[in-house]
Amino acid sequence: MTASSAPHRRRPVFTIVAAAAAAAATAVLLSGCFFIPLADNRSPFDDPFGPSFDDVRSHHAELQAALDEAVPAEWKTTVSTASDNCEGACNLRLGVSIDPTAALGQEVFDAGDAAAQAEWEEGERIRVPLPADVLATIVRTAAPIAADAHLSFDLEPGWSEEPVPNPAGVELFAVTDMAAAVAEVTGLTEDYSGDDQFRLANGTLSVATSSGSADAVLARLP
């Protein structure tokens, strides 16, 4: 072996070592990205720098208090954590269930004639239309709080805690019908439709405020 040929023979060894080191570094980086959401019981495929369960829960009380003050008493709002499913929870955000009282369900029941009332069967749900101004109030209240937290939020129809009283004595519950209110407030009339601020899917209205600004959302409200 000559002195001039030795470095050339060692170069492939150095290349292999460098490649192995780079692969190891990449593996550590990727495993770290997977580990971050897993440590929070999220999907390993979630954005590792996205909101955690603790991040979202830390804003539950503030939003709940604001909604309790702003929303009419005949409608109950319950704040929770909403998410998608990416082989586990992902895309975490605030969730708000909008529930009618049994009294509202009874108003709808009583508005029907005797024949209509007799058709109700055990376990059926009485659909109570959500007024557009109540939906707008909920969005107007939630949007700034969610935006300040860099979170989006979902509004979903809920049902009454208590059954609706009725002469037949069958168990009926009131459920929120958001369709007309969503159409009036956002212009969305079809399921699985949306734009930059609002999206409607499976009856749930998603509001995009994770950018940190609620201005575009609030500008859409009547």
pLDDT tens-digit readout, 150-167: 999 999 999 999 999 888
Same domain membership, residue 70 and residue 15: no
pLDDT tens-digit readout, 178-191: 999 999 999 999 99
The whole-number average pLDDT for the span 71-97 is 94
Number of other residues whose CB lies within 10 A of the CB of residue 176: 27
Domain membership flag for residue 46: no
Number of other residues whose CB lies within 10 A of the CB of residue 84: 12
| DSSP category for residue 14 | H
| DSSP category for residue 159 | B
* Segments forming the whole domain that contains residue 27: 1-39
- 132, 133, 139, 142: CA torsion to nearest 10: -140
Please choose, from the candidates 83, 86, 67, the residue with its C-alpha nearest in 3D space to the C-alpha of residue 75. Answer: 67
pLDDT tens-digit readout, 47-71: 788 899 999 999 999 999 999 999 9
Question: What pLDDT does residue 33 have?
Answer: 55
**What are the residues facing 177 on neighbouring strands?**
129
Same domain membership, residue 71 and residue 29: no
pLDDT tens-digit readout, 183-215: 999 999 999 999 999 999 999 999 999 999 999
Same domain membership, residue 83 and residue 189: yes
Question: What pLDDT does residue 208 have?
Answer: 98
Domain membership flag for residue 199: yes
The number of folded domains in the chain is 2
